[in-house]
Structure 1
């Protein structure tokens, strides 16, 4: 017993850096199954981080989902810096122990919109299939914390068959989003079976895989998996992938290799980031992320406003932040690198997009629309077509505002020079 105690004391003195080296060298790094088998859990975090008091409280008292991260994703985090963006997505903090008055387990009312277990039918033509309750990393901001990492939410084969029956009996459904959890944490054979069932339903034309594994476990995107996906990516079923990179530190060479494999399998990849307080809620950070994503050949899709889920107050940002970020990005990166800023409306209202107000209004006497340039901040006029029946549709700009802008505005007959000088 004495010798065991001494050994325990030596281990306790091992630094987070040394503990990480021991972990990383204990298995074949590129083996995704070994990565999953060696996931770091809550009780392991003190070995790999110098924890703050806030983190210690968060680990002990979190009201959110379980803690878990792959060694790969752990390697992207900083053991010493509590402000490391990756660390904040791995390690709970004190804010996770509070159930704030504005929060609820299911703010989108997905359960109320589930005709059968594991299937949400919010939009007429599409459904979300909850295929799996497990993820490679349990992100602290996860909007489905009520289900993810909870074994009682496991989707058995019989549950999935009921979902397929519902889809077969509703011919208006043409688009199926496979989410979870992470569908790519299922076995190759189960993924093959799910895609085969969807491909056989004649009115299902589109399948979208919602997975974070290119970010948290890129070695899961194996050649065998891509062959399975490609075999179902046919003229009967078009398969897309949406992933979630939230910070440029996640844009690694391993991630790029995974994305290239998916692209070679004919799968277009889009990114759905979440704007998160203290992680990516400033203009330059989000711009750098989306420039990196284009280098990885990923197109921007959505930037989500965080959901009102329990213990999430530490992640949520003012709505204006998202609008400011989109305004800042416009003109600094190609349009395919600028996401739509969306709010998934509480109560099951679906997504709405939000953005800067580039359109000032319509001047009825001159029949001109007035716009503000995203690139230069200047004002520009564009006429309504002759014979238009929509003139009453537009918000009118006042004569006072029109008079102020007219002398300093630009049109098809007066342009800007390359350095901002007005053209002749």
Structure 2
């Protein structure tokens, strides 16, 4: 039973929580995580939020004091709050939704490993995160003790990778792999480092956003040890809103960069959080200031209880179109859809290319900067003309060229 708190009580509880947390100690942050039954102490909840906390069909609720401190205790539309506190939409399982929309379990040859693409695999290293984001697409696994990866499970995964020499790239995900102890993470990296055909390792972590203090000098030293001419280690994280781009996060990113780990960002397009053009543009400008390159902007997955976050497909296309010309290319993410049923990722882009006009051997393009039609010639003797969508005479005349 949730007990609603007044604003003064909420502010007092927040102050006490922050005071008893050793702020820059990641262990203290995790020990003082706020769970679902305690959210009413730290937010003046709406009726929808009360229903969401009580009846969510998604993963558990939990947030670090640090990430909680970025949220608004009063405003239910605060973007950070939206990613922490469930709403009533989370209690609805729509017919089009699935716990495993990408068919990752079907594509799992051994426990904790997904082999969707020929030359790369996804390794689920653990089931825990610092913050259980409400839009998480792996709610079936994250926060569930049944999904705990024992050392024997990981050993089986490594054995599979060793016997499949086509595997060159291993993505370590979870949960959040950086929630593992230093010793467990070092063991995982050492195992991958010892497999001759594994050349690339990608760490998928949201801790630079939700628990930046976890990116310690000791952790970075471990990563640096295995980030060499045999194995290239990358990090992909997930900043979704400018409010997440803090001084602490930037310091964490810089520590990773100093040991040779480039950091990319994979945002999720979320209704009411970052589905406005200027919000997404501001986010990626801040990320470039933090030396984080844009990678993906994900169309939300069809996961249970996600109707409150999903946007029309056109929103992502419109946002990427808006960003082009207003920020350098390394700050513009690829808008992607991870196809249901295990089809893999595809990129979806604005329609800059309008087609080919055979009579003049010209391609027509729409400029993101001038908004005008610009032309370019196909080489003489090209045998690729049938490849292009053809512009009709009537369409060509409409260009007014």
TM-score, reference length from structure 1? 0.93
What does 1:13-412 correspond to in 2, within 5 Å?
15-407=9-401
Alignment deviations for residues 356-406 of structure 1 (CA, whole Å, 9 cap, x no partner): 100110000100000000111100000001111101111100111212324
- Higher-Rg structure is 1
Q: Distance in 2 between matches of 1:177 and 1:167?
A: 12
Q: Distance in 1 between matches of 2:6 and 2:314?
A: 45
SS at match of 1:356: coil
Alignment deviations for residues 298-350 of structure 1 (CA, whole Å, 9 cap, x no partner): 00000000000000000000000000000000000000000000000000000
Alignment deviations for residues 195-244 of structure 1 (CA, whole Å, 9 cap, x no partner): 00000000000000000000000000000000000000010000000000
How far is the alpha carbon of 1:296 from its aligned partner? 0.5
How far is the alpha carbon of 1:30 from its aligned partner? 0.3
Q: Contact (CA 8 Å) 2:21, 2:65: kept in 1 or not?
A: no
Task: List structure 1 runs of 4+ shifted beyond 6 angstroms.
Answer: none
Q: Contact (CA 8 Å) 2:238, 2:265: kept in 1 or not?
A: yes
SS at match of 1:178: strand
Aligned length: 398
Alignment deviations for residues 152-183 of structure 1 (CA, whole Å, 9 cap, x no partner): 10000000000000000000000000000000
Q: Distance in 2 between matches of 1:28 and 1:217?
A: 13
RMSD: 1.1
SS at match of 1:285: helix
Q: Distance in 1 between matches of 2:400 and 2:197?
A: 53
SS at match of 1:132: coil
Where in structure 1 are there 5+ consecutive unaligned residues? Answer: 1-8, 408-424
Q: Distance in 2 between matches of 1:28 and 1:123?
A: 43
